[in-house]
Amino acid sequence: MSVLLESVLVAGLFAAILGWLALRIRRRGRLGVIALAAVVAASGAWTAASLRVVPLAEEDVPFRPIAVPGEGYVTSASCRSCHPREYATWHGSYHRTMTQVASPEAIVGDFDGVRLELRGDAFRLDHDDEVHWIDFKTPGAGGEIRHMRRPVLMTTGSHTVQAYWYPTGDRRNQALFPFVYLIPHRRWIPRESVFVRPPTPENAPPPPATAWPDDQRWNHTCIHCHTTHGQPRYAELDTRAAEFGIACESCHGPGEEHVRVNRDPLRRYRLYLGEEPDATVVEPRRLDRQRASEVCGICHGINYPRGPEILNDLDGGRAYRPGDAIEATRVIVQPTRGVDALEGYPDHDPRVREQSFWSDGMVRVKGREHNGLIESPCYQRGELSCFSCHAMHQAEDDPRPRPEWADDQLKPGMDGNLACLQCHDAYRGDAALAAHTRHAPESSGSECYNCHMSYTSYGLLKGIRSHQVDSPSVAASVATGRPNACNQCHLDKTYGWTAGYLEQWYEVPRPALGAVERAVPASLVWLLTGDAGQRALAAWSMGWEPARRASPGTHWMTPFLVQLLMDPYDAVRFNAEQALRLDPVFAELDYDFIAAADVRRAAAERAGARWRGLPPPAGQVADARDLLVDPDGELPPDVFRRLLARRNDRPFALAE
């Protein structure tokens, strides 16, 4: 019997009862009225509940990928009863919320009647109690303009940005909304503005996501690392996963057998009291450093399917399971090997090195930490692994609030020198530390990772610490354009200044330097002549608080940040704006990095004029020209204009 028919019959029954009661009200008086009111209320409530849409079983949900267990996967819900604390800490992590079915609880973005516009294409966002909606217009098959109203069905991200997926109507294929919600700033921005991408002309048509794309973005890319056991089922578009988000079985492997055998309480207690691991589940911390790190590296790394695994990726998902060797089924991209392991790969983009690595092979994009880790001497000749510093479950004695731990999932103390002192005990104590760093023990220059894991990676509008442990090198900076730790902190200093101290303190040979490298602050070389990725990172560095403290004030930076407000790349402008706003004078700057070009230019000109009318604060450098410290530089007065003319303006993208 259908829900509707059942509701009608029950409503009829209630009506008959009401009629019968009405005939007796006079004889029952007030008590009869109360009884009648109660029955009416019950009738309305039951009928409303009956007519409410009954949730579909997940397998029957149309038009979006579905999350169904199978192939040995049983979902995190099966772990909760035996591992409540581990479940709770995972539940509070950003891994869990990487992909979610859209709901009022999952959606962070503002959908309260918001209107957005992108190159002439308008979007309206609204919601009711359960569903968030996107309204837009799109070309029809015959060229006519059709109005579309689509529900948001899935979300991706919940930490820095959140993206939204809506149904195309073609089976389970999803379209990606061309705007994302920038969570820390509580605002919508075009998705293309989040990344270092070649600029799109303002008169270009709107993104294809508004025109029923068939780019299969979710099936090609997102599903593999944003879900647990993602299965694209590309040919049928019957896309599914064992669970949305990065859940227990992403790290511990399929849990069906583990759950089955541990229904036996004697087995559970025997394992608990013994020292033998449970062979039915993978515990990454018990693996050797290589296999343990690969549990993370399968997603936090640049690797591609090997041979026939390409087809498997597009159908049943990755063959890799926790504890496996990645290279059994995939190629880990390591340019330092000197061989392009991707040659012959059907979808190989020859620009992958340029978009993901510096020219010497150091990874330069966020989320690819495994490629940096395996190039580190602490990994190659020591025992360093991801789990040396990170914990997938917050420790019971960790006093930090859950959100603070979840930010990087670091173990207690691993946001300081303890991370390195685990192995480098010789530098424990203020005297030993200062003797090595040549900086005061309490300064940022004595924090190990500021020198050996500096911010040379970039992604999602910010600098990211490199996970390739190395030492500052002027020679490497000159050869690759990559910032070194010394100049990224001392933004006012030249390569020549850094080379002198590295030679004096650590006997690092001084490389041959040209006039510019000897006389112009390295930060300005990156900012004025670098590619878009270098410029975005240099602008971010000017907003990095330790660097602002280490430099002789920030007044001298302003005209260069103002110059970047007109950069052709959105990500560069964003970072310049954020750094500039740290100066109280420009905190309320009337500027928006995604405004039209003429509006941005006018705002930049006003900011420049305001700076020129300000005297430098006491004790600060007045002008960047005062930072030309090498008397042998013999640079002309218009050096900065000439450097800007040398800017690397070739189209450039980072594979963030």
**Angle in degrees, 0-180, between the axes of helices 522-529 and 532-541, rounded to the nearest 10:** 140
User: What are the helix and strand counts (H, E) for the chain?
Assistant: 28, 17
Distance CA 474, CA 500 (A): 10
Lowest mean pLDDT among 269-283, 468-482, 553-567, 615-629: 615-629
Cα–Cα nearest to 532, from 578, 500, 473, 573? 573
Looking at residue 21, what is its pLDDT?
45
Q: Which two tokens stand for residue 580?
A: 């500039």
How far are the Cα atoms of 233, 312, 321, 360, 656 from residue 305, in angstroms, in the given order? 16, 9, 14, 24, 19
Sorted by where each begins, the domain ranges of the chain are: 3-54, 66-224, 285-384, 385-410, 479-645
Rg (CA), the chain: 30
Looking at residue 93, what is its pLDDT?
97
Asked if the model's pLDDT at residue 328 lies above 50, the reply is yes
Cα–Cα nearest to 93, from 401, 407, 396, 390? 407
Distance CA 342, CA 258 (A): 37
Out of 4-13, 117-126, 138-147, 440-449, the most confident range is: 440-449
pLDDT per residue over 423-476, tens digit each? 999 999 999 999 999 999 999 999 999 999 999 999 999 999 999 999 999 999
Q: What is the spatial order of strands in the sheet that 66-67 belongs to?
A: 66-67, 240-244, 227-231
pLDDT per residue over 408-428, tens digit each? 999 999 999 999 999 999 999
Distance CA 22, CA 48 (A): 23
CA angle 249, 252, 256 (to 5 degrees): 60
Looking at residue 40, what is its pLDDT?
38
- The 3-state DSSP class for residue 64 equals coil
Average pLDDT over residues 308-333: 89
Report residue 211's pLDDT band, with 50, 70 and 90 as the boundaries: very low
**Angle in degrees, 0-180, between the axes of helices 522-529 and 495-506, rounded to the nearest 10:** 140
pLDDT top residue among 630 and 602: 602
Asked if the model's pLDDT at residue 96 lies above 70, the reply is yes
Asked if the model's pLDDT at residue 544 lies above 70, the reply is yes
Average pLDDT over residues 100-119: 96
Please, which residues have CB within 8 angstroms of residue 118's CB and are 6 or more apart in sequence? 178, 179, 190, 206, 207
pLDDT per residue over 474-523, tens digit each? 999 999 999 999 999 999 999 999 999 999 999 999 999 998 899 899 99
Own/partner contacts of 388-394, CB < 8 Å, gap of 24 or more, are 388/419, 388/422, 389/414, 389/419, 390/296, 390/414, 392/89, 392/90, 392/93, 392/95, 392/251, 392/284, 393/85, 393/86, 393/89, 393/90, 394/89, 394/92
Q: Which two tokens stand for residue 330?
A: 């995939």
Looking at residue 632, what is its pLDDT?
52
Q: Which two tokens stand for residue 644?
A: 């800007």
Report residue 145's pLDDT band, with 50, 70 and 90 as the boundaries: confident
Looking at residue 636, what is its pLDDT?
58
pLDDT top residue among 642 and 258: 258
Q: Which two tokens stand for residue 188?
A: 């919508």
Q: Please compute, for residue 338, the number of CA atoms within 13 A of its CA located in the half-sphere on the CB side.
A: 0
Distance CA 49, CA 41 (A): 12
Looking at residue 25, what is its pLDDT?
45
Lowest mean pLDDT among 150-159, 270-279, 624-633: 624-633
Work out the mean pLDDT of the chain and round it to a whole number: 87
Burial readout 32-66 (b: 16 or more C-beta within 10 A, e: otherwise): eeeebeeeeeebeeeeeeeeeeeeeeeeebebbbb
Give, for 187, the enclosing helix (H) or strand (E): strand 187-190
Cα–Cα nearest to 460, from 252, 248, 208, 159? 159
Distance CA 389, CA 247 (A): 20
Name residue 304's beta-bridge partners.
Answer: 331
Report residue 349's pLDDT band, with 50, 70 and 90 as the boundaries: low
Burial class of residue 526 (count of CB atoms within 10 Å of its CB; 0-12, 13-18, 19+):
buried
Distance CA 241, CA 610 (A): 55
**What is the phi/psi pair of residue 49, to 5°?**
-65, -35
Tokens 């005061």 sit at which residue?
A: 440
Average pLDDT over residues 19-43: 44
Give, for 645, the enclosing helix (H) or strand (E): helix 639-645
Q: Which two tokens stand for residue 379?
A: 């990994």
Cα–Cα nearest to 415, from 438, 448, 445, 441? 448
DSSP one-letter code for 638? T
Query: Is 293 in contact with 368 (CB distance < 8 Å)?
Result: no
Looking at residue 10, what is its pLDDT?
44
Report residue 35's pLDDT band, with 50, 70 and 90 as the boundaries: very low
* Cβ count near 345 (within 10 Å): 16
Burial class of residue 427 (count of CB atoms within 10 Å of its CB; 0-12, 13-18, 19+):
middle
How far are the Cα atoms of 107, 190, 560, 626 from residue 492, in angstroms, in the given order? 43, 34, 12, 10
Share of the chain above pLDDT 70, in %: 86
Tokens 């330790």 sit at which residue?
A: 546
Q: Which two tokens stand for residue 343?
A: 């040659």
